[in-house]
Structure 1
Amino acid sequence: MQRILVVDDDPGVTNMLRRGLTYDGYMVDVAGSGEEALELARAHPPHLVVLDVMMPNMDGLQVLWRLRAEDPHLCVILLTARDAAADQVGGLEAGADDYVVKPFTFEILRARIRALLRRSEGETADVLSFGNIVLDVTKHQVWQGEREVILTAQEFKVLRVFFEQPERVMNKSMLLSRAWDPDYDGDDNIVEVYVKQLRQKLEVNGESRVIHTIRGAGYVLRAQ
């Protein structure tokens, strides 16, 4: 059974997440401070940490640095009310795997947790969905409602990266590292080209935009 450590100084948040994640089948530890989180992580090493950023004494980024020093491969999702693009980029560059902004829905956080844990175990879901768009990994098919969206192999790779981490802001470098071959050494502006092509194909009948540009930060898969 996988263990999740939830760290937040708001008991309402930790209680809600403990109930929801326990119901989903995880072992859940909760901490109300950075110091308590580090003690719990050493006593009961988690598979994943959901970590609030704004806490007194030791903030979430300080906790993140210490967790990373002890386990470089630990999955960490930052949970915070800081929604500025610079804050999100800073959190990711500090070592977080993902970033969820408060207020949040439990369903979105649950999806992020499952995606991170799958990747850490080398697993991949056969079917991914977001809104009315369904991506079949095995068949390399994409459906938007009842309409099949015909994509090239590379367009499919890029869209799959977005679907594996909905609501996560990703810059060009992150997308290149996940959707292109490791030996690709071309211009990173190719990402803009493929995002534009995906938008054209997903919005051909006036559908709402799902791949949004976050100025100065990158792109995100998000409902309108």
Structure 2
Amino acid sequence: MHILIVEDEIKTAEYLRKGFSENGFVADVANKGEDGLHLALTGDYDLIILDVGLPERTGWSVISELRRNGKEMPVLFLTARDAVEDRIKGLELGADDYLIKPFVFSELLARVRTILRRGPLRQPDILTIDDLVLDLIRHKATRANKRLDLTPKEFALLSLLARRTGEVVSRTLIAEQIWDMNFDSDTNVVDVAVRRLRAKVDDPFEKKLIHTSRGVGYVLEER
């Protein structure tokens, strides 16, 4: 597998290159946004690891230009920008995942392998699961042609589950993506959020789509 690492911190970039090389990947490195964009447009990469705060051109700009040019290779944002709004923006621009620094390399490697197992094409902007339809660009969700009145975080949570349809998403991963990395597992914030989401997505309908994997997390799928 051939990956591109676009990271302006030299030590971090070398750490990533070495780690992926040791795990059987061929890794190229660019330290500036403009250089990363050039390599991504002209090279044949299976995945790009992209920082947001880059010299010359931001990560937001890089992925936007890639998608405008029809480049559909998976992109994983690896950045210190941990605001929920930033995570949502990254996903809306076409990223496949969003991991916050500081990070553990083993988790990054696992996420990269998970993305690559899904295949070369990124998911579409409109997701359909049974009679549930999510428009990721317009932040619109409907079920049985009825508009669902979701808060921004509820939509982000539903989008996360929908992007991983059929896959059990752990409470820890949900907390990292929707709230802060430093999630206290003793609290029930995720369970409360899912319960509120179910009240809007499932309760008014006979067929249930959000299911609990006891002791692990939640899965969105037809049953």
Q: Normalized against structure 1, the TM-score is what?
A: 0.59
Structure 2 vs 1, CA of residues 65 and 121 (structure 1 numbering), >3 Å: closer, same or farther? closer
| Residue of structure 2 equivalent to 1:21 | 20
Name the aligned partner's letter for residue 114 of structure 2. Answer: A
Following the alignment from structure 2 to structure 1, what is the Cα–Cα distance between the partners of residues 27 and 168?
Answer: 28
Alignment check: 8 A CA contact 1:4 1:26 kept: yes
1:135-159: CA deviations, max 9, x gaps? Answer: xxxxxxxxxxxxxxxxxxxxxx967
| Residue of structure 2 equivalent to 1:32 | 31
Name the aligned partner's letter for residue 102 of structure 2. Answer: P
| Residue of structure 1 equivalent to 2:212 | 198
Following the alignment from structure 1 to structure 2, what is the Cα–Cα distance between the partners of residues 98 and 89?
Answer: 10
1:110 maps onto 2:109 in alignment: yes
Q: Normalized against structure 2, the TM-score is what?
A: 0.59
| Residue of structure 2 equivalent to 1:78 | 77
1:5 maps onto 2:4 in alignment: yes
Following the alignment from structure 2 to structure 1, what is the Cα–Cα distance between the partners of residues 120 and 80?
Answer: 29
Following the alignment from structure 1 to structure 2, what is the Cα–Cα distance between the partners of residues 36 and 46?
Answer: 14
Following the alignment from structure 1 to structure 2, what is the Cα–Cα distance between the partners of residues 36 and 95?
Answer: 20
Following the alignment from structure 2 to structure 1, what is the Cα–Cα distance between the partners of residues 28 and 200?
Answer: 41
Alignment check: 8 A CA contact 1:159 1:198 kept: no
Alignment check: 8 A CA contact 1:4 1:48 kept: yes
Matches within 5 A, 1:37-186: 37-120=36-119, 160-162=167-169, 166=173, 169=177
* Residue segments in structure 2 that go unaligned for 5+ positions in a row: 122-163, 179-197
1:105-135: CA deviations, max 9, x gaps? Answer: 101110110011110159xxxxxxxxxxxxx
Alpha-carbon offset, residue 69 of structure 1: 2.2
| Residue of structure 1 equivalent to 2:201 | 189
Name the aligned partner's letter for residue 198 of structure 1. Answer: T
Alpha-carbon offset, residue 161 of structure 1: 4.2
Alpha-carbon offset, residue 189 of structure 1: 2.1
Alignment check: 8 A CA contact 1:47 1:74 kept: yes
Following the alignment from structure 1 to structure 2, what is the Cα–Cα distance between the partners of residues 112 and 26?
Answer: 14
* C-alpha RMSD over aligned residues: 3.2
Alignment check: 8 A CA contact 1:68 1:74 kept: no
Following the alignment from structure 1 to structure 2, what is the Cα–Cα distance between the partners of residues 101 and 112?
Answer: 12
Alpha-carbon offset, residue 166 of structure 1: 4.5
Name the aligned partner's letter for residue 6 of structure 2. Answer: V
**Fraction of identical pairs, as percent:** 36
Give the length in aligned residue pairs.
152
Alignment check: 8 A CA contact 1:8 1:51 kept: yes
Structure 2 vs 1, CA of residues 74 and 159 (structure 1 numbering), >3 Å: closer, same or farther? closer
Name the aligned partner's letter for residue 160 of structure 1. Answer: E
Following the alignment from structure 1 to structure 2, what is the Cα–Cα distance between the partners of residues 80 and 96?
Answer: 13
Structure 2 vs 1, CA of residues 117 and 13 (structure 1 numbering), >3 Å: closer, same or farther? same
Alignment check: 8 A CA contact 1:64 1:95 kept: yes
Secondary structure at the counterpart of residue 6 of structure 1:
strand
Secondary structure at the counterpart of residue 104 of structure 1:
coil
Name the aligned partner's letter for residue 212 of structure 2. Answer: L
Following the alignment from structure 2 to structure 1, what is the Cα–Cα distance between the partners of residues 74 and 212?
Answer: 29
Name the aligned partner's letter for residue 49 of structure 2. Answer: V
Structure 2 vs 1, CA of residues 59 and 15 (structure 1 numbering), >3 Å: closer, same or farther? same
Following the alignment from structure 1 to structure 2, what is the Cα–Cα distance between the partners of residues 60 and 115?
Answer: 22
